[in-house]
């Protein structure tokens, strides 16, 4: 878990503001989760799919001052902005990329350091997990005065993310190819099965009710020798694909149709790999 004296600043994340009288119905029709949950909670996690039900983007959505903030990787912000504008048609919706806030990841124990008025910023527990991870949207001029708290760099955060089996689906999926149930998106609280239709919903629902998922994302534990390749093998048969890793732990897509003994190792490059269901999928 995130150490109490550590925080991380998402310098590579952006926020998109969505406002207007039709914002609820507009967003509801294009995301995998139910926007109505924001009437009772601070945030949701959701995806946008292609018409063929393939993964395009994932993001957090929060309710702030009766408008929506959509948090996404900065390199995707313009692309998502353009996609939203394409879908809005004649809806009374205004969309813009804003630079009002800095985004932090903190341990819940450190929230006292962020004395932010609701009108100036916000914080919310990561909706994917039930733990102490909290995201903070702080005004740009905000500074942390406690010298005992240290800022993690990108490498330290990535190592933390991998050790915790937290997916970054810009790296841990195939855009326009991966399917939400392969990504265990339901276990990350990113899918509502009760809401009405949304873009790409039919394929996701069909996979759930017909049980046609052939591979899923898993945590992996690596007995590293000298190299790792992209493909993973079992008894000389390709059974998976390695994703984010740090040569000790990582994530991988593994074929669940293959009968593999739990005690057996898989082979990746010249290294051995053991896999198990991610902790967040066991809840």
- CATH assignment at residue 64: 3.30.1360.120
Residues 222 and 156 in one domain: no
What percentage of the chain reaches a pLDDT higher than 70? 96
What is the 8-class DSSP label of residue 4?
A: T
For the cut 70, the answer to whether the pLDDT of residue 114 exceeds it is no
- State residue 193's pLDDT score: 95
Which of 112, 142, 108 lies closest to 126 in space, CA to CA? 108
Is 93 part of any domain? yes
Any alpha helices (H) in the chain, and if so which ranges? 23-28, 74-88, 154-163, 201-210
Given pLDDT bands bounded at 50, 70 and 90, which one contains residue 119? low
Instruction: Count up the domains in the chain and report the number.
Output: 2
CA 264 to each of CA 56, 130, 234, 250, 261: distance values in angstroms, whole numbers, following the listed order: 34, 31, 9, 17, 5
- CA dist., res. 102 & res. 12, Å (int): 10
Arithmetic mean of pLDDT over the chain: 93
Q: Looking up tokens 């000389």, which residue turns up?
A: 236
- State residue 253's pLDDT score: 98
> Vertex 79, ends 78 and 80: CA angle to 5°?
90
Is 1 part of any domain? no
- State residue 263's pLDDT score: 80
Is 63 part of any domain? yes
Q: What is the mean pLDDT of residues 116-120?
A: 57
For the cut 80, the answer to whether the pLDDT of residue 110 exceeds it is no
Helix (H, G, I), strand (E, B) or coil at 144: coil
Cα atoms found within 13 Å of the Cα of residue 114, Cβ hemisphere only? 25
Which of 40, 46, 69, 15 lies closest to 188 in space, CA to CA? 46
- State residue 9's pLDDT score: 94
* Cβ neighbour number for residue 198 with a 10 Å cutoff: 23
pLDDT tens, residue by residue, 2-44: 887 889 999 999 999 999 999 999 999 999 999 999 988 899 9
Residues 267, 229 contacting (CB under 8 angstroms): no
**What size, in residues, is the chain?**
283
Is 127 part of any domain? yes
Is 202 part of any domain? no
pLDDT tens, residue by residue, 132-188: 899 999 988 777 776 678 899 999 999 999 999 999 999 999 999 999 999 999 999
Residues 223 and 122 in one domain: no
- CA dist., res. 171 & res. 161, Å (int): 12
Residues 153 and 243 in one domain: no
Is 169 part of any domain? no
Residues 93 and 227 in one domain: no
pLDDT tens, residue by residue, 189-224: 999 999 989 999 999 999 998 888 999 999 999 999
Residues 102 and 14 in one domain: yes
Residues 115 and 233 in one domain: no
Residues of the domain holding 81: 6-163
For the cut 70, the answer to whether the pLDDT of residue 116 exceeds it is no
Residues 159 and 229 in one domain: no
- State residue 118's pLDDT score: 52
> Final residue of a domain: which of 128, 148, 163?
163
- State residue 149's pLDDT score: 83
Is 87 part of any domain? yes
**H/E element holding 210?**
helix 201-210
- CA dist., res. 273 & res. 227, Å (int): 12
- State residue 13's pLDDT score: 98
- CATH assignment at residue 263: 2.40.30
């Amino acid at each position: 878990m995130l150490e109490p004296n550590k925080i991380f600043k998402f310098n590579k994340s952006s926020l998109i503001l969505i406002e207007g009288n039709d914002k609820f119905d507009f967003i509801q029709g294009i995301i995998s989760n139910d926007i109505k949950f924001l009437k009772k909670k601070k945030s949701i996690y959701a995806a946008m799919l292609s018409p063929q039900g393939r993964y395009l983007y994932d993001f957090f959505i929060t309710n702030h001052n009766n408008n929506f903030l959509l948090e996404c990787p900065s390199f995707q912000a313009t692309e998502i902005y353009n996609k939203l504008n394409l879908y809005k048609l004649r809806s009374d919706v205004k969309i813009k990329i804003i630079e009002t806030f800095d985004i932090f990841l903190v341990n819940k124990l450190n929230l006292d350091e962020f004395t932010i008025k609701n009108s100036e910023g916000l914080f919310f527990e990561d909706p994917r997990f039930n733990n102490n991870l909290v995201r903070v949207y702080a005004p740009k001029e905000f500074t942390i005065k406690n010298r005992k708290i240290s800022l993690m760099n990108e490498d330290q955060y990535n190592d933390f993310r991998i050790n915790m089996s937290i997916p970054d689906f810009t790296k841990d999926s195939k855009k326009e190819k991966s399917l939400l149930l392969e990504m265990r998106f339901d276990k990350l609280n990113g899918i509502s099965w009760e809401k009405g239709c949304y873009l790409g919903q039919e394929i996701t629902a069909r996979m759930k009710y017909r049980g046609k998922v052939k591979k899923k994302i898993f945590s992996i534990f690596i007995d590293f020798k000298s190299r790792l390749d992209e493909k993973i093998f079992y008894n000389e048969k390709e059974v998976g694909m390695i994703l984010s890793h740090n040569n000790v732990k990582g994530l991988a897509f593994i074929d669940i149709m293959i009968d593999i003994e739990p005690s057996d190792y898989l082979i990746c490059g010249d290294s051995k790999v053991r896999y198990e269901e991610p902790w967040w999928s066991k809840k």
